[in-house]
Chains A and B, each alone.
Chain A
Amino acid sequence: MRILVVEDARALARSIAEGLSEEGYSVDLSHDGEEGLHLATEIAYDGIVLDRMLPGLDGLTLLRRLRQGGRRTPVLLLTALGELHDRVAGLDGGADDYLVKPFAFEELVSRVRALVRRGLGQADNRVVLGSLELDLGARVASVGGVVLDLTAREFALVELFALSPGKTFSRTAIAEKLYSEEADLDSNVIDVFVGRVRRKLDAAGMPGSEVICTRRGEGYRLDPAAAAAKGKR
């Protein structure tokens, strides 16, 4: 899941990015409105954490332009203005959620998680595909009750597939979702990565290469039928 953080207070932006990365998100950072709008328009983020007061282009204007451009990316507005009419203005401006500074980081994480989930049409934190179960809140995946030993990024890959079962993701799309802009990737990094996840699924008794199958020339997809079939066994 890829998140954009637009926040001009650099130390704050840095720690939000760090915390979210450790939660398995790939995070892009921007310190001003113009650049933030450009990034948000160009890249299909799963969520945007947007500061309301920014130099150059302020957060509300950025949000309005983004919505006018047709981008429905879920947005969590951060603000230091706690008054009611500011909240209303933020939500009316097209924000999906609102958080007043200073905030507890746990709250930011759970709001971002809910934001991303809602953006993907997922109502709660539990995703079940046959015997494969994901707890998006605890960032834990299990097969038939046995917990898989996944890194944050590996979990993010399973999550990406599981939230859009049957959808084919190109290597570029996967790289975009799992790595932030700064990461310089070799073309086969994703293949190696998918291979590792498949092996971990195999180890848990689920045929990895059938569940995450290769579409030659296109990329990878999660086969819901395969996951369900193995689940019945």
Chain B
Amino acid sequence: MTLRAKIVALVVGLTLALLGGLAAFLGGSWSRWSLDTLDAELTDRAAGIAARIEVKRDGRIEMEGGEGAPRDTSHPVRVIGPGGEIVGHGTLPWPSPESGAVTVQGAPDGPWRVVTRRLPAGEDEGGGRHARAGVVVQVAGQEAPFAALGERFREGLLAALVGALLLGGVAAALLAHLSLRPLRRLATEVESIGATMLDRRVGEDGLDPELRHVARSFNELLGRLEQAMQRQRQLVSRASHSLRTPTATILTRAEVALRRDRSPEEYRAALADVAVAARESSTLVTHLLTLARLEEPRANAVRQPVPLEPLAAEVARLLAPRAAEAGLAIEVDVPGGLAVRADPATLRELLEALLDNALLYTPSGGRCGVRAEPGAGTISLSVWDTGPGIPVAERGQVFDRFFRGVAAQGSGRPGSGLGLAIVKAIADAHGARLTLGERPGGGAVFSVELPLGEDGKVSGRAQVGSSRRGATRTRP
């Protein structure tokens, strides 16, 4: 149902309810008033007739003017004497003498109103006249003329009602049209803004306050969209740069090498460069896909107790060859029995990415490691290294996609600039606090605070005192 239809329906409905109620009330009042009027007239007549009645000594009733008094056929009369003698004219299904004013049906010419009056006692003025107490006078009048009038009145009301409804409906439609016009203009304006024109804004001038509010909300939304798109564009152009550079290296290195005959050593050097660049671009693609997967709303939905010690040991084992290559030792210091509530697959990716980062930037001969410490309801899982650490100025940005610190850029190491962004995405998905600090004695420490797994609580605390028991050590 359109807004316009709703407005019209509302106005018509309200008009119908108000005027219909009024008409019903007036119609009812009319019926009551017409009956009251008829009753009053009949009562008058009854009084007139009563005044003309004479009750003879023998109990007979005599009316002034005698039997020859003109008979008013439109107002039949019946008089019942004290002795049960009935005088009158007109044939009607007369009601009982005990009734007041009633309507009788059954007469051939429609319903009749009958007023019954029982003359009270003590109205005898003496002088040959006997008391008329107990005499009952009934006067009838046809309801039809009043009913016809009432019918006309109701017809008039109905016509007025229909007129008011039509007028109200048209007025409502017009009103809706007029008040929706600026809204339509707004819609047209908003529709004309394509994805590439997010710097445009909807005009707020000349609008009613309510619509100005809508327009402003639209503009704020456009602003947010524009920013998001800009961030997206920056990301795409950075991703494009990060992908194209290793590809350019592979292509150029190969093409230059193939331009002439070379010694095996030269070919080997070229192939080594090609391999490094290919590995770099493959890592980048993997990281980009990981991030895209983590962005899906349903990713990270799994939550289950994850025992930390086996996880850390496994990741350390996996990265041991890389550590050996880099001349580094990975130390695992995770008490057995500790468990966190997490998605085991992404938690593993987080640990891998953090250790990978430590392996990339810690100079040969250094150390790095994983630690887990239980806290109040949480476990702090951290990865440390003896590398150069991360300058305070860069700490706010290290988790941004494609951000590479000055040291990382200068190092010539093939980081994708996405590893820590992946760490952040996983920590965020777990609602875990991710902090970056300095290791006493130099180096960086990344810590994630994860909620305790169900079975981690008791055994975890019990293990604290002898935490080294679960520690494993991987030497290059």
Please report A residues at the B interface, Cβ cutoff 8 Å: 8-12, 14-16, 18-19, 22, 32, 53, 55, 80-83, 86, 100-106, 108
Contact = CB atoms under 8 A, between A and B. Distances in A.
Interface in B248-272: 248-253, 255-257, 259-260, 270
A108 B406 CA distance: 29
A53 B241 contact: yes
B12 to A, nearest CB: 57
Given A55-B410, A81-B237, A15 B245 contact: no
Q: State the 10 A-B residue pairs at the shortest beta-carbon distance, nearest first.
A: A102-B248, A80-B244, A101-B248, A80-B241, A19-B256, A55-B409, A105-B255, A11-B273, A12-B249, A15-B253
Contacts of A14: 273
A103 B248 contact: yes
Interface in B79-123: none
Contacts of B270: 15
B260 A22 contact: yes
Nearest to B253: A15
A55 B407 CA distance: 10
A83 B245 contact: no
A83 B234 CA distance: 12
A195 B410 CA distance: 44
B472 to A, nearest CB: 37
Given A9-B245, A102-B252, 8 more contacts: A9-B248, A12-B252, A18-B256, A80-B242, A80-B244, A101-B245, A102-B244, A105-B256
Nearest to A51: B245
A62 B208 CA distance: 52
Contacts of B252: 12, 15-16, 19, 102-103, 105, 108
The interface centre, meaning the residue of A8, A9, A83, A104 with most chain B CB atoms within 10 A of its CB, is A9
Contacts of A104: 251, 255
Contact of B259 (A9, A22, A102): A22
29 contacts: A9-B245, A9-B246, A9-B249, A12-B245, A12-B252, A15-B249, A15-B253, A15-B257, A18-B256, A19-B252, A22-B256, A22-B259, A53-B241, A55-B409, A80-B241, A80-B242, A80-B243, A80-B244, A80-B245, A81-B237, A100-B244, A101-B244, A101-B247, A102-B247, A104-B251, A105-B255, A105-B256, A105-B259, A108-B252
B240 interface: yes
B186 interface: no
A83 B237 contact: yes
Contacts of A12: 245, 248-249, 252-253, 277
Contacts of A105: 251-252, 255-256, 259
B276 interface: yes
Contacts of B410: 32, 55
Contacts of B273: 11, 14-15
A152 to B, nearest CB: 11
A82 B240 contact: yes
Nearest to A12: B249
B138 to A, nearest CB: 106
A32 to B, nearest CB: 8
A8 B277 contact: no
Interface string B279-321: 0000000000000000000000000000000000000000000
B412 interface: yes
B450 to A, nearest CB: 35
B249 A11 contact: yes
Contacts of B250: 102
Contacts of A22: 256, 259-260
Contacts of B242: 80
Contact of B277 (A11, A19, A100): A11
Interface in B372-419: 406, 409-410, 412
A16 B273 CA distance: 13
Contacts of B251: 102-105
B252 to A, nearest CB: 5
A105 to B, nearest CB: 4
B271 to A, nearest CB: 11
A209 B257 CA distance: 38
Contacts of A83: 237
Contacts of A11: 249, 253, 273, 276-277
A9 B273 CA distance: 11
B402 to A, nearest CB: 11
Interface string B325-357: 000000000000000000000000000000000
Contacts of B247: 101-102
Contacts of B241: 53, 80-81
B240 A55 contact: no
Contacts of A100: 244
Contact of A10 (B240, B244, B412): B412
Nearest to A82: B240
Nearest to B250: A102
Contacts of B412: 10
Contacts of A18: 256
Nearest to B241: A80
Interface string B224-244: 000000000000010011111
Nearest to B240: A80
Nearest to A14: B273
The interface centre, meaning the residue of B243, B246, B247, B248 with most chain A CB atoms within 10 A of its CB, is B248
Nearest to A10: B412
Nearest to B252: A15
B409 A8 contact: yes
A81 B242 CA distance: 10
B250 to A, nearest CB: 8
